A = this chain, B = another copy of it.
Amino acid sequence: AVGVVFIGSIIYSMFTSPLQLTEAPSIADRDSISKRESGVTEKSPMRLRMEALIKEKQSEIVAALQELDPANKFRTDTWSRPAGGGGTSCVQQDGNVFEKAGVNTSIVYGTLPRPAIEKMRVNHKAIDPDVDSLEFFAAGLSLVLHPQNPNAPTVHLNYRYFETMDNDGKCNAWWFGGGTDLTPTYLYDEDAIHFHKSIKDACDKHDRGYYPRFKQWCDKYFYIPHRQESRGIGGIFFDDLDGQEKDQEQLFSFVKDCLSSFLPGYLPIVTRRKDMPFGEREKQWQQLRRGRYVEFNLVNDRGTSFGLNTPSARVESILMSLPLTARWMYMHEAEKGSREERILGVLKQPVEWV
């Protein structure tokens, strides 16, 4: 079984039909020996550095979340793919702070068939067009946190790295993708501003053009056409960032800073909202918004669709992103002038928060 949440977003655009991932034992085995013998340093191939980074960040994030609610231990499931790679899912359910919190890493070694290679070449000219199959590697960290308190926003994050390799494991084409976005039930401007500012700061250290560009990309990606509204108030989203954008070292450093900005960007928000008083009305509105979250993830999210269509995918890791509870009411309408109406307005028309 494979956790493919993040891989979906990477590979999906390159395939129109489900893909049977085939196995590439040799490179995975060699990487495994190299890690055991020499560890992972700045001289290691990027795939090993990215793997080490996401595992480190997963531990760091899970530890910080665990501290918010020490009584409800995260459950950790680790699995490995027979041909190399594997993953770890850390999940907390029905706790004091989070209704559901999932933090997931996945590593995949596999072989791309010819049609997939042809589609990838559209965005990545470094890929050799004259081969029948190509080894690939993918690594990603993906998390979704659904708080219990309707005043605290849901948050999603996903960063990943993809590369193709020749038979000796030498990197051929490579790129980074990812992002993070916030989905409040009720809007607190200070939370929205803080969240966006922390991402913008991480972006600005690398390129002043990143935040505006990736913020817009995020607003576009998380739009629910059938509801004519966004899933949340956005953040950043990007994909296919390769050598045409910046060199590999710079992009790795950018992704690292994005990952590091997550806890300072989100923890203060959930900390100040998690114990606010609320009533039946607020809980019900949260449940309705959770329903929209489910709609986006099951109907619109390319990563989820791809994952669910991948044979032998680890479904529990993919659907870890769904809330514990959700609600659908027929013809529900927000009251004029209410807080419910206010957040709907923002979901219809994205705001520039910083």
List chain A positions with a Cβ less than 8 A from chain B: 75, 77, 89, 91, 93, 100, 102, 225-227, 287, 291, 294-295, 298-299, 305, 308-309, 313, 315-316, 319-320, 322-331
Complex CA distance for A77 and B330, rounded to whole angstroms: 11
Q: By the criterion CB–CB under 8 Å, are A75 and B308 in contact?
A: no
| Chain B residue with the shortest CB-CB distance to A325 | B327
Please, could you name 19 A-B residue pairs with CB atoms under 8 Å apart, sorted by A?
A91-B330, A93-B329, A93-B330, A100-B330, A226-B308, A287-B325, A291-B322, A294-B326, A295-B319, A299-B299, A316-B331, A320-B330, A322-B328, A323-B328, A324-B327, A324-B328, A324-B329, A325-B326, A326-B326
- CB contacts (< 8 Å) of A291 on chain B: these are 322
Q: By the criterion CB–CB under 8 Å, are B330 and A102 in contact?
A: yes
Contact of A75 among B77, B102, B330 (CB under 8 A): B330
For the complex formed, measure the closest distance between the CB of A293 and the CB atoms of chain B, giving whole angstroms.
11
| Chain B residue with the shortest CB-CB distance to A319 | B328
| Chain B residue with the shortest CB-CB distance to A323 | B328
Contact of A299 among B287, B308, B313, B328 (CB under 8 A): B308
| Chain B residue with the shortest CB-CB distance to A313 | B226
- CB contacts (< 8 Å) of A313 on chain B: these are 226
Contact of A226 among B89, B225, B315, B327 (CB under 8 A): B315
Complex CA distance for A89 and B93, rounded to whole angstroms: 37
- CB contacts (< 8 Å) of A326 on chain B: these are 294, 325-328
Top 10 A-B pairs, shortest CB-CB distance = A298-B298, A322-B328, A226-B308, A91-B330, A298-B299, A326-B326, A325-B327, A226-B315, A316-B331, A93-B330
| Chain B residue with the shortest CB-CB distance to A91 | B330
